[in-house]
Amino acid sequence: QVQLVESGGGLVQAGDSLRLSCATSGLAFSTYAMGWFRQAPGKEREFVAAIRPSGRSIDYAASVRGRFTISRDNAKNTVYLQMNSLKPEDTAVYYCAAATYISTATMTSPRNYNYWGQGTQVTVSS
């Protein structure tokens, strides 16, 4: 049984930092691309960042580039999202997702990911 479990969300002030973790089990983690998405109330789920299995290929949404960093530890079957300089517009439920394969063209679409976590709430106050 595949499980993705996010943690690390919370309530912070603008300018603060948070580190999200996504621990996985039941899948060959080192062979999966991993992504972070977020969904604010009344909005569609949107791409935040993705990292290829080797960790050498990474991409970010323009809205978070330079502030967020995605990384992975294949020995721990875990992917991370370091979020710095948080803004109120970053408030959302953050989800991690696993994909057997993604390309530059497909990494931003949720439908290309095979497995999802339950999400963790991030709230940034102004």
CB atoms within 10 A of CB 23: 16
Residue position matching structure tokens 């408030």 = 91
Of all residues in the chain, the percent with pLDDT exceeding 70 is 100
pLDDT number for residue 93: 98
Mean predicted lDDT score pLDDT of the chain = 96
Separation between Cα atoms, residue 99 and residue 20, nearest integer Å: 19
pLDDT of residue 57: 82
Token output for 33: 């691309």
**Cα–Cα distance for residue pair 83/54, rounded to 1 Å:** 21
pLDDT at position 65: 97
CB 115 within 8 A of CB 43: no
Which amino acid is present at 5?
Answer: V
Residue ranges for the chain with pLDDT beneath 70 = none
Q: Please tell me the predicted confidence (pLDDT) of residue 43.
A: 96
